[in-house]
Amino acid sequence: MTWEDKQSGPPKYGMLVPVGGGDPIPLLKDRLLIGRRDSCDIALRFPNVSGQHCRMTVEQGYWFVKDLGSRNGTKVDGKSIVRKRLDPRCRIAFAKHEYRLEYEPQDLGAFGPPPADDEHIEELMRNSLVDRAGIGRRSAADPSKNRNLADD
């Protein structure tokens, strides 16, 4: 008997389907704590999953995931993330345990284009404030790239 047989259709918020086989995990609320602890909404009892690994929330009809400083990280489609929008059928990995996220944004209230992803902010934040301002260290190897700040 599958989850859908026990309920009247698929879970409203979708499901996590283990890549490589296994029972799907129904998403029963619009805000979920995922980790190894029994107190988590979704308890993944693997030693390499942190006690409180990440949080998933529905925003404007789309799932978003935020890593909570887990030791082994959270990846979306193979890329490490801090916070990211989860598009339908994307792959999400908690430590090394990979799942495919199945849901329909329209069922969760989405309309129009998807909400902005935080990926560009994450990329920007990887650089120092000095580099983002364009006043990084001067290059001794290539002085032609140095800007004379007094000319600005």
List, as one string, the DSSP characters of 21-67.
S---EE--SSEEEEESSTTSSEE---TTS-TT-EEEEEETTEEEEEE
> What pLDDT, on the 0 to 100 scale, is given for residue 116?
87
pLDDT of residue 92: 98
Report yes or no: 43 and 37 within 8 Å, Cβ to Cβ: yes
Residue 59: beta bridge partners?
62
pLDDT at site 2: 45
51 phi/psi in degrees, rounded to 5: -55, -50
Mean pLDDT per block of 10 residues along the chain (152 residues) reads 49 94 96 98 97 97 96 96 96 97 95 81 67 66 60 51
Q: What is the pLDDT of residue 124?
A: 64
Beta carbons of 64 and 110 less than 8 angstroms apart: no
Q: How many CB atoms are closer than 10 A to CB 62?
A: 19
Q: Which of 89, 63, 88, 84 is nearest to 74 (CA)?
A: 84
Check if the beta carbon of residue 112 is closer than 8 Å to that of residue 105. Answer: no
